[in-house]
Structure formats: C-alpha cells, structure tokens
Amino acid sequence: MSAAKRQALGRGLAALIPGASAARDASPASDGRGPDARGGPRPIPIEDIHPSATQPRTHFDDARLDELAASIRTQGVIQPIIVRGRDGGGFELIAGERRWRAAQRAGLHELPAVVRDVEPTQAFEMAMVENLQREDLNPLEEAAGYERLIAEFGYTQETLAERVGKDRSTVANSLRLLRLPAAVRGLVAEGRLSMGHARALLGLDAPAAMERLARRSVAQDLSVRKIEEIVRRERDGIRAPKPSATAARAAKSTSARDLSMRLTRALGTRVDVVEAGPGRGEIAIHYHSLDQLDALLERLVPS
C-alpha cells in the first residue's frame, strides 16, 4: 500500500467524505456514477444501492434497527452513506449499511450518498476503519477485520494500531480471539458466552478443551472468574479438590439427613447416608472400638 493511501486511511471519515478541497479535484463520471459536481452528497434511489459482500460487519440487531428506523422517520438521514460505482449497475455500499437497512424499514425511497471512485480493496479498508471509529463492530467482527487488513494491506500490528487509534496490545488481544474454535465463536456470536468468557478460554492450548469448557460454561452458567480458575487448574495440572465431609453433609437432601438421624438413633452410633444419584447411595456406619463393632454385628447379623 502506498504511503499516500495509508495517510488517507489515517484521516478516517474525513478521508471518506469529500470536503471543499476534494470538490475541486472531483469530476462527474461519464456514466453518471461519480460524485456530483459539488463533491457533496446527492440523493440516490434506495433500490440502486447494494450491500458489499466484504462488509466487515456481519450482525445487525433488529431492535436497534427498529430504533434507528423510528429516528429516521422523524429526523431523516442526518449523515450520508458512502458508496462506490458498481460494475453490474447501481452502487455498492462502503459505509452506512445500518442506515440503509433502517431507511428501508422507515419507507424511504432515496438516501443521501457520497459517491467515491475507489477500488474494491480500498473500499473494504475504508469500511473497516469507519466501523471501528463508530465502534459498530462486535469483538469477533473487529478481530476478523484486523486480520484482513494485515493479510490484504500489509499492515503490521504496530502500524494497524496507529491507523485505527488503538493500542498495539488491544489489536494483539483482539487477534487472539481468532484462535477460538468455530463452535466457541458461534456461542459468543449468539450471546451465550461473553467476551470475558472467551478471553478466559484462550488460556487453554487445545481447541477441544476450549470447546468442552465453553459448553460446560453455558450448561452450568459459570462465571468468568470460575472459568479462569478452571483454566488455571488445568494448565497447572491440579485436580479440583474433593468436597470435605462437612460440605458433603451440608449438601445432603432432607430425606438423606432424616434417614441418617433415624439409623444413628437405632444403632447407637453415627451413621452417614451418602447419595450417589436418584435411588442410589451408600450407608457408612462408624464405630470406635472392637467392642462397639461386635455389638453392631450382633444387631445387624444375628447368629
């Protein structure tokens, strides 16, 4: 990528929407798809606008789209969308897909748009930066966008962090999310796992272990702190401690405690009833001397 293009990217939205200086350089395309002579937004029929197949954002919340549509009905579209000419006719979105979707729900027939004459690769670059500056991407979309910018535009993590206004560690941690197995990323995208859970799972090395713990977390509604504790134990090779006898007794059901008391009274020594599942368990009879054992055997196993 040329230095000039990187400098334009660093200007963010200012590079996307032509100002007065850009207007002097702009000239309408002969096919009518270029920016208008003033270099500013112009109305475009909504049916002539098509979403980009490389849009970095993949999730659009229906409730928030409805809210935006209601605002558009009242206030109109305040900020124009950004588009480029499309080979098959019409225009391809660079920035503003949420506004385009909400405008359709609001029943608009036209949208104010700025037309930019850029290549498909540069259009993705612009869309990515615009979404990042608006914080419109979820963390997984952001990570995938970073990966594409590095792979397709030759950024290092340092230069990418500078261009999008983030710390290098933020970019590096975001890219680590792509190590998650597809099944775990799906749970995050569905909202069944938080990003805190996802980052904690990255402490495991094996994808199968990440997926297994992710599903356990969803099934048992484990906290992020609990996931971190389990990951620490697995990494250190420490088995989870067995519950103490006191804790085990505290966890007994009411019927098990009642049966323990009845047997203790009947035999004259402490008896524990340990439940192992529905209809299953163990009875532990305690004795403290051989004489006490002999007395118990005479009662339980009469000659």
Separation of alpha carbons 274 and 272, rounded Å: 6
Candidates 39, 40, 99; CA nearest to 64 is 99
Separation of alpha carbons 130 and 146, rounded Å: 13
Which neighbouring-strand residues pair with 91?
Answer: 49, 85
Ramachandran region, residue 160 (left: φ > 0; alpha: ψ -120 to 50; beta: rest): alpha
Separation of alpha carbons 166 and 128, rounded Å: 14
Nearest-5° angle of CA 198, CA 204, CA 205? 120
Whole-Å CA distances, 268 to 6, 119, 285 = 86, 89, 10
> Tokens 């504790």 — which residue?
229
Sequence-separated (6 or more) residues with CB below 8 Å from residue 251:
243
Instruction: Specify the DSSP element, H or E, that contains 303.
Output: none
Among residues 47, 67, 92, 97, the one annotated as catalytic is 97
* H runs (alpha helix) in 242-289: 245-250, 254-267
Candidates 155, 157, 156; CA nearest to 168 is 157
As given in the structure block, the two tokens for residue 70 are 């209601």
110 is an active site residue: no
Kindly list the catalytic residues.
97
